[in-house]
A and B are shown apart, each in its own frame.
Chain A
């Protein structure tokens, strides 16, 4: 049976397409877990957390260079490649490959993010050799046979067509175009019917060769495996890849603000999205911004927006603010959905809270509570399964934060003052946002 919850946090719409990783700064408090770096003789590095309490091994990895590597006119190709890696490799056709994978008792998954291609394998420790062999084939020697290519392409086209009149999809594209213009980030992640039709087997092979290399690879492993065995396995899985990738450079994107986008649909609810300037992960004010966001709308059941819009007035089921960060763009996004006849009121409440934050900043008590949440919550959000731990360790490496980052992160958060938050609030929230409304038109406002 379907169950209904107080708030389904995972269901927020996302501005910058779904990063498979957490939007907030990924910084673990890995208390009780020792991360060690292993390096093989051929120079492949991985972060390992040994854990023998369950008979499983979880591996996550990323190749830098995600969907931004789609050639112009062939958008959707990187996503299609990730769908095809387990559809035949080496001397195994699609059916034989999938049967072997199933017999090996392994889960294998690939996903194309905006800036990286992510991989995942979970396997019973006793069966890992066969599974790793299949993983090697999938990464190194995918076949891209015509039959699975046609099938997967047709499935993706079906899903594109299925959403052709879906307001949420239409809104997402309007939003991306308004914010990112012609930058690769504004492209549709799975491509379009036309661009997918243009993709040939040799295109797939060429793009695969450009991205899958040792030089842009990041790996984390958690589970019942020792460093010596892992080194041997890493060489087996990844050792045959070319040394360096050949990636197309991506320029930084500056989100376009001050725009009004209206997507008119006859719907029972009006969705509101607001985009303000964001802050890069390496910016000195990043943690102050993080704490400010937490207080504004990031702390799910305790934030100012939550209290004003939902708790006091019952205007929405959910409301959030979030710092979106991808490699070449950042934004602060606020979103909610409300009844059409009160959407204008909701929008002005949001604007008033943003103004109050940019003008007055936060109190000492609010800041102390937000610090506790950001520091204490890390383990709970990121260490609740082997897969979550591995994912976190990959992200820390992708962000180039260093293996000692955990402790530094705590100190960086502790060091933020009320003045720091006030300064960053002014910097981000004084801007005129881009505002999108999806649904019936707003009454009582010029937006």
Chain B
């Protein structure tokens, strides 16, 4: 590989991305992109649902909603109205390890949205008058997203079974019975503890340069006092995983069954050098799209599955997970699909992968990183998620090179170490064969 190619493969050249700290401990990343007159601001707080106190599941996500309820200076709705007025877009999201708020506007409006965002970092006003209806909103959100969907219900139970001790077992939106009890005091406690400049990362991507962002950040976020130092994010860790567990959900809405199997694995936040990269390549070769082993064997050659694949989400602070899945086609049974997927895993554990497969998987993976550069907000998201889970901007830039460095033997070793049949969690989504299936009125 020539050095020119290596440079082209980086998400962005290191010299182009600015990364610095404000005096109050807030980290800033600037990713210039001058193709369109648009700029995206993302603010990432290094706190997510895995940091919630016991019994308060969903508080991180609830607070995310409440962050739109206004401050003394800018009453509820004013920020959103301002964004709409300048033709911008906004939203926010919560994960296990982070909570993020983002807006996309034209460059002239950057200072305005930075002022609003800085203001609500420390000056949120919460009253029971806004708490009560918004709590109803998150309950509706849970009904809509999770309880309306057998797939999501199974997903939730899979997580709760896969992680035996780590809070990743708790759904980000929260358990219904705990969400119903969340109150103003819970929200304020969480806000006061975690929402401070030294627990936040500002990512600005778009038609702007680092000098201007630094100046504006100093004038807005930079005037906020540093919060108390937070202790290291030490969460309860997993005991040794030593059993094979099964989760089955039968539901009248299901007609064709589906299967998945998950394992707890390392992540980019916790891995020994190279292991997370090897898992990324393993997921690509085993089940990343139509050229993968699972797809070719089960869907194309054996014709027993209508779908099948694998995925690995390495972007987490603590140990992550690896998942394979498939759904039978025609007369095939779900057991055949499971057996065939197991066989593909066994082949990799026993015989490894070929150099050609390795090279093609690397090419696909690195190409997807180059294509990702095409989306300004996508790039902001890649940096934000990496930095909020313990990586650095330099790690992001070196990612393609680290993927290129993976060796075939390392992929085989990762499969052998992590995808053990004796300590997995299998999930089955099954039809309910009974008189009550299908339409029925209450």
Residues on A close to B: CB < 8 A?
1-7, 9, 31-33, 51, 53-56, 58, 95, 98-99, 102-103, 105, 107, 122, 124, 151, 154-155, 158-159, 161-167, 170, 263-269, 299, 301-302, 307, 310-318, 337-340, 369, 372-381, 383-387, 389, 440-441
Shortest distance between the CB of A173 and any CB in chain B (Å)? 13
B330 in the interface (beta carbon within 8 A): yes
Residues of chain B within 8 A of A151, CB atoms compared: 299-300, 303
With the chains together, A265 CA to B85 CA distance in Å?
A: 41
A4-B141, A151-B299, A269-B144 known; A165+B438 contact, CB < 8 A: yes
Q: Is the CB–CB distance between A337 and B316 below 8 Å?
A: no
Could you tell me if B147 and A269 are in contact, using CB atoms closer than 8 angstroms?
yes
CA distance in complex: A165, B440 (Å): 11
Give the docked Cα–Cα distance between A54 and B441 (Å): 56
User: Is the beta-carbon distance between A383 and B36 smaller than 8 angstroms?
Assistant: yes
When the two chains form the complex, which single residue of B90, B143, B256 contacts A301, counting CB atoms closer than 8 Å?
Answer: B90
Among listed B22-30, B230-238, B372-380, B420-428, interface-contacting one: B372-380
Given A102-B364, A154-B330, decide whether A4 and B173 contact each other with a Cβ distance below 8 A. Answer: yes
Contact B85 A373, beta carbon cutoff 8 Å: yes
Chain A nearest CB from B412 CB (Å) reads: 22
Contact of A154 among B147, B168, B306 (CB under 8 A): B306
Chain B residues, CB < 8 A from A378: 87
How far apart are the CA atoms of A161 and B256 in the complex, in Å?
7
Which of B128-136, B182-190, B196-204, B216-224 participates in binding chain A? B128-136
Given contacts A5-B64, A263-B439, A386-B374, 14 further A-B contacts (CB under 8 A): A1-B95, A1-B316, A3-B93, A4-B64, A4-B94, A54-B373, A98-B291, A124-B367, A155-B307, A311-B76, A317-B138, A377-B87, A383-B36, A384-B104
The answer to whether B313 touches A1 (Cβ under 8 A) is yes
Please list 28 pairs of residues, one from A and one from B, whose beta carbons are closer than 8 Å in the complex, sorted by A's number: A4-B141, A5-B91, A6-B64, A6-B92, A6-B93, A31-B36, A31-B37, A51-B35, A56-B370, A95-B300, A158-B306, A162-B255, A162-B256, A263-B439, A265-B440, A268-B147, A269-B143, A301-B90, A318-B144, A337-B148, A376-B87, A376-B106, A377-B87, A377-B88, A379-B36, A384-B377, A385-B378, A387-B374
Q: How far is the CA of A189 from the CA of B308 in the complex (A)?
A: 23
Q: Is there contact, CB below 8 Å, between A310 and B137?
A: yes
Instruction: Fill in one digit per residue for B84-120: 1 if any A CB lies within 8 Å of its CB, else 0.
Output: 1111111111111100000011100000000000000
A266 to B431, CA, bound (A): 16
Closest residue of chain B to A158 (Cβ to Cβ) is B306
Contact indicator B290/A98 (Cβ below 8 Å):
yes
Do B91 and A154 touch (CB < 8 A)?
no
CB distance from A413 to the nearest CB of B (A): 11
Which residues of chain A are within 8 angstroms of B84 by Cβ–Cβ distance? 299, 301-302, 369, 372-373
Instruction: Find chain A residues with CB under 8 A from B90 CB.
Output: 301
Q: How far is the CB of B295 from chain A (nearest CB, A)?
A: 10
Q: Does any Cβ of A come within 8 Å of B34's Cβ?
A: yes
* Contact yes or no, A314 B133, CB < 8 A: yes
* Residues from chain B with Cβ under 8 Å of A381 in the complex: 89
| Alpha-carbon distance between A39 and B253 when the two chains are bound, in angstroms | 52
**A154 in contact with B329 (CB, 8 Å):** yes
CB neighbours of A7 from chain B (8 A): 91
Q: How far apart are B58's CB and chain A's nearest CB, in angstroms? A: 9
| Chain B window 48-71, contacts with chain A (Cβ cutoff 8 Å), 1 for yes, 0 for no | 000000000000010011001000
Question: Complex Cα distance A389/B36, Å?
Answer: 10
Residues of B contacting A95 in the complex (Cβ-Cβ under 8 angstroms): 300
For residue B180, CB closer than 8 A to chain A, the reply is: no
- Choose among A122, A161, A317, A441 the residue that contacts B137 (Cβ–Cβ < 8 A): A317
The 3 tightest CB contacts between A and B, nearest first, are A376-B87, A314-B136, A314-B133
A154 vs B8: C-alpha distance when bound (angstroms): 41
Q: Is B417 an interface residue (CB 8 A)?
A: no
Which A residues are CB-close (under 8 A) to B330?
Answer: 154, 158
- Choose among A55, A162, A166 the residue that contacts B370 (Cβ–Cβ < 8 A): A55
Interface residues of B in 112-170 (CB under 8 A from A): 132-141, 143-145, 147-148, 155, 168
Closest CB in chain A relative to B324 CB, distance in Å: 18
In the complex, the answer to whether B377 meets A315 with C-beta atoms within 8 Å is no
B437 on interface, CB distance cutoff 8 Å? yes
Residues on A with beta carbons closer than 8 Å to the beta carbon of B303: 151, 154
Residues of B358-376 whose CB lies within 8 A of A: 360, 363-364, 367, 370-371, 373-376
| Inter-chain contact A161/B143, CB cutoff 8 Å | no
Indicate if the CB atoms of B81 and A302 lie closer than 8 Å.
yes
In the complex the two chains form, is A441's CB within 8 Å of B370's CB?
A: no
CB neighbours of B210 from chain A (8 A): none
A7–B376 Cα distance when bound, in Å, is: 21
Which residues of A sit under 8 angstroms from B360, Cβ to Cβ?
102-103
Q: What's the nearest-Cβ distance from chain A to residue B134, in Å?
A: 6
Q: Are B255 and A164 in contact, CB atoms less than 8 angstroms apart?
A: yes
Contact A2/B155 with A269-B144, A269-B148, A337-B140 known, Cβ cut-off 8 Å: yes
CA distance A387 to B371 in the complex (A): 10
Contact (Cβ within 8 A) A380 B316: no
Assess A55 versus B97: contact at CB under 8 Å? Given A316-B137, A337-B140: no
Contact of B260 with A by CB under 8 A: no
C-alpha spacing A170/B105, complex, angstroms: 39
With A4-B172, A337-B140, A378-B87 known to touch, is A162 a contact of B374 (CB < 8 Å)? no
Bound CA span A105–B9, Å = 13
> B379 to nearest A CB, angstroms?
10
B38 contacts A264, CB within 8 Å?
A: no
List B379-435 residues whose CB lies under 8 Å from chain A.
431
Is the Cβ of B144 less than 8 Å from the Cβ of A317?
A: yes
Q: How far is the CB of A212 from chain B (nearest CB, A)?
A: 23
Q: Please indicate the chain A residues that have their CB under 8 angstroms from the CB of B168 in the complex.
A: 1
> Looking across the interface, which residue of chain A has its beta carbon closest to that of B360?
A102
Whether a CB of chain A sits under 8 angstroms from the CB of B72 is no
Residues of chain B within 8 A (CB-CB) of A122 are: 371, 374
Among residues 204 to 253 in chain B, which have CB atoms less than 8 Å away from a CB atom of chain A?
A: 252-253
A-side contacts of B106, CB under 8 Å: 376, 379-380
Q: What A residues does B97 contact at CB under 8 A? A: 1
Contact of B172 among A3, A314, A317, A383 (CB under 8 A): A3
Residue from the list A105, A166, A264, A316 in contact with B363, Cβ < 8 A: A105
| Chain B, residue nearest A375 (CB) | B87
* Bound-complex Cα distance A202 to B232 (A): 66
Report yes or no: A312 in contact with B133, Cβ–Cβ below 8 A.
Answer: yes
